Amino acid sequence: MASDFFYPNTGGVESHIYQLSQCLMSLGHSVVILTHAYKDRTGVRYMTRGLKVYYLPILVMYNECTLPTLYATLPLVRYILIRERIDIVHGHSAFSALAHEAMMHGKTLGLKTVFTDHSLFGFADASAIITNKLLQMTLSLCDRVICVSHTGQENTALRAGVNPDKISVISNAVDTQVFTPDPSKRDCDRITIIVLSRLVYRKGVDLLAGVIPVICSLNSKVHFIVGGDGPKRIVLEEVIEHEQLQERVSLLGPVKHEDVRDLLVQGDIFLNCSLTEAFCMAIVEAAACGLQVVSTNVGGIPEVLPPDLVWLSDPSVEGLVHTLNQAIRDKESGKVVDPMQCHERIAKYYEWQDIARRTLVVYRKVEAEETASLASRLRKLLSCGFIWGQIFVIIALIEHVLYLFYSWLVPVETIDVALDYQEMSDVRQRKNSKIK
C-alpha cells in the first residue's frame, strides 16, 4: 500500500488503508505500507498484527503531499519492493505523489499495480487539467482501478481516459465494533451539532462559517463542536469572534482517530458541508454512532446512506440552514431512527471483511493477467495524446534507464530479503526454546 496519507495523520484515506491492510493480513496475506515521514516518526514502524510501515524521508510540500520528483524515490522504493518480496503495488489517492511514483516504479520492476481513487476532480481549471493528465499517465499503465462510488467511477473514467471495464466499485466501510452509539453521553439540555473534517476549502468550511451564526440565532439550544484543523480554521475563528459565539462553538483542533468515536457520541446531529466527495467516511462513522446526518448533496454522498438516515441539502448556506433546521425539528419531535437501529443497519451495509474479500478478487484478476512488456507500456503511453503521449514515453524511458543503472549499482542478489512478522515470531520462539 502506497500513499502520502497515513497515520498519524487522520482522514478517510488513512483509515481505509489501515483497515483494509488489517483485514488482508487476517486473511493470511502480507501487507507493507509506504508513506512519508511525519515529524519524528521515521524509518520502519510496526502496528497491530505486525503491519509494517515504512516512513520514508521525503520532502513534504503542502497538506501532507510530498514533492513530485518522479525519479528521486526510485532507488529507495526499488530496494523496499525487492526486500519485501512485493507482488502488487496498491496506490491510494490521486492527490498522493508517492502513490503514483510507487506504482510507476513497481511497473518498471515488472510488478502488478492497482490504484484506488478516493476523490472527485473537476475538468475546467488549470490545476485539474494538469492533475488529470498526470493521472492519465499513471492509470494508462495500471492493471486495475478501484473507485469508492459509482459517481467516482464515472469521474475517473472521464478525466483519466480509463476504460470503465478496468474500474471496480468497492466502497469504504466502518469498524462498527468501535463506532457504537452511547446516548448517555449527550447533553439533554441542548442540541449538539458535530463537525469533524479537515478545515480546507473543499470541505465547505466557508459554508460552515455562514451556517453557524444563522443557526445559533434561530435556536438558542444549539451548540457546535468542530474537530479538525487546516488553513481555513482562521475563517471560523473570525466568525466566532465577530458574532461572540465563544460559549456556543468549540474548536477542538486536530482529533486523534482513537478519540473520534468519543467525540461523535456527544452529538445529536452530524453536519457535513463538503463541496465534493467521492465517498464520505465521516458520515458513515457518525451514522454508526447513531447521529442524525445532514450533508450536502454532492458527488457520491447520495449513494452512501439510505434516505431515512441522511438529510441532503444543496451546497449553499441557505440550503444547509433549511435542511439543518428540518433535522433539528425532527429531533425535537422524535421523528428520527433509534440510534441502535441505525447502528445495526450500518453494520449490515458496511463491513471491512467484505471489502477485503472484494479487493482480493481484484488482486486475483490482476495476478492472472500477463505482465506487460516495455514496448506495450510505451504504446499505451503514446495513446494518451500526440504531445502528452510523447512526453510520457520520454519519462518512461528515463525511468527504465535509471532502473537499469540502479540494478547494476545495487544488484538484486545484494539485497537482503526481509522476514514478515510471523516469520520473525517463529525465529524468536526457536531462539527462546534453544536458550531454555
Delimit the domains of the chain by residue range: 12-173+354-428, 183-350
Same fold, 12-173+354-428 and 183-350: yes
The two most distant CA atoms of the chain are separated, in Å, by 74
What are the residues whose beta carbons fall under 8 Å from the beta carbon of 394, sequence distance 6 or more?
Answer: none
Q: Which residue bears the cell 473537476?
A: 122
pLDDT digits (tens, 9 = 90+) for 105-134: 999 999 999 999 988 877 766 777 777 888
Whether the Cβ atoms of residue 207 and residue 314 lie closer than 8 Å to each other: no
Q: What are φ and ψ of residue 416, in 5° steps? A: -70, 140
Note the pLDDT of residue 435: 67
Q: Which residue bears the cell 500500500?
A: 1
- Cell of residue 56, nine digits: 520514508
Note the pLDDT of residue 94: 85
Note the pLDDT of residue 367: 93
pLDDT digits (tens, 9 = 90+) for 303-316: 999 988 999 999 99
Q: Is it the case that residue 424 has pLDDT exceeding 80?
A: no
Note the pLDDT of residue 319: 94
Q: Is it the case that residue 426 has pLDDT exceeding 70?
A: no
Q: Where are the beta strands (DSSP E) in 281-406?
A: 292-296, 310-313
Where does 110-204 have alpha helices with state H? 126-141, 150-160
Q: Which residue bears the cell 479487493?
A: 359
pLDDT digits (tens, 9 = 90+) for 62-71: 777 888 888 9
Q: Is it the case that residue 387 has pLDDT exceeding 80?
A: yes
The topology under which CATH files domain 183-350 is Rossmann fold (3.40.50)
Residue-averaged pLDDT of the chain = 90
C-alpha to C-alpha distance for 350 and 175, rounded to whole angstroms: 8
C-alpha to C-alpha distance for 389 and 311, rounded to whole angstroms: 45
Q: How many helices (H) and strands (E) does the chain have?
A: 15, 15
Whether the Cβ atoms of residue 147 and residue 168 lie closer than 8 Å to each other: yes
C-alpha 19: how far from chain center:
11
Q: Model-level pTM?
A: 0.85
- Cell of residue 396, nine digits: 518512461
Q: Is it the case that residue 433 has pLDDT exceeding 80?
A: no
Give 364 or 60, the one with higher predicted confidence. Answer: 364
Whether the Cβ atoms of residue 117 and residue 77 lie closer than 8 Å to each other: no
Q: Specify the CATH number of the domain 12-173+354-428.
A: 3.40.50.2000
Note the pLDDT of residue 423: 67
Q: Is it the case that residue 93 has pLDDT exceeding 80?
A: yes
